Amino acid sequence: MSGRSLTCKGCGWVYFGVSRRFAIEQTHSFAEYYNSLTEYQRKQWYGGRQISLLRNYARCRCGRPNTQFRDSTAAEIQRVYGCTVSSMIYPEEKVI
């Protein structure tokens, strides 16, 4: 995986870029984990909803699609240093 960071053109939120293939693998991995939990654990930890979906890797928290992203600047990357950064499918990759 590369270290390419992406920034939403609308709200400026910074994400870690990933391939569509990686996002699919992670979605399947979470589904396996989620399905291994008891009903009680699912409800306690995730509100009873499976939350890892491919579309989560393709939309900003403000609702913009991954096509509305650009490469991050050095200043934007510095701003999020030490923070948890979510993943986003590279804008040039088709999501579905």
The answer to whether the beta carbons of residues 69 and 6 sit under 8 Å apart is yes
Q: What distances in angstroms separate CA 72 from CA 19, 40, 80, one per listed residue?
A: 16, 41, 11
pLDDT digits (tens, 9 = 90+) for 13-66: 999 999 999 999 998 999 999 999 999 999 999 888 777 678 888 899 999 999
pTM, to two decimals: 0.77
pLDDT at 2 over 60: no
pLDDT at 94 over 80: no
Q: Which pLDDT score, from 0 to 100, does residue 93 have? A: 78
The answer to whether the beta carbons of residues 81 and 7 sit under 8 Å apart is no
pLDDT at 1 over 50: no
Question: What are residue 6's phi and psi, to 5 degrees?
Answer: -125, 145
CA distance 37 to 61: 27
pLDDT at 75 over 90: yes
CA distance 82 to 21: 26
